[in-house]
Structure 1
Amino acid sequence: MRLPCSHIFCKKCILHWLARQNTCPCCRKEVKRKKMVYVNKLRRTIGHLEVKCKNAEAGCLVTCPLAHRKGHQDSCPFELMACPNEGCSAQVLRGALAEHQQHCQQGGQQHCPLGCGATLGMAELAHYNCYLKLREAWSERQERSQTMLQGLLRRVRRVHRSSRLIRRQLAQLSHLLEDDAMPEADAPQDDSLGTEVWGAQGQGTLEIEG
Structure 2
Amino acid sequence: MSGGHDVELFVEAPDHDLLCTICRCVLRCPVKVACNHVFCKTCILQWLRRQETCPCCRKPINPSCMFVMYGLSKTISRLRIKCNNEGCSATFPLSEEFLHSSTCRFQWVPCPHQGCGSVVPRSALEVHSQHGEPWSQLCSLGCGTLLTQTTQPQHNCYRQLRQQVAAQRQSHRAIASALRRKMRRMQAAMTHVRRQVALICESLDVMEEGEVEMYEGFEEENSTEDSNTSSSSSSS
TM-score after normalising by structure 2 = 0.45
By relative contact order (CA 8 Å, sep 6+), the higher-ranking structure is 2
Higher helix share: 1
TM-score after normalising by structure 1 = 0.49
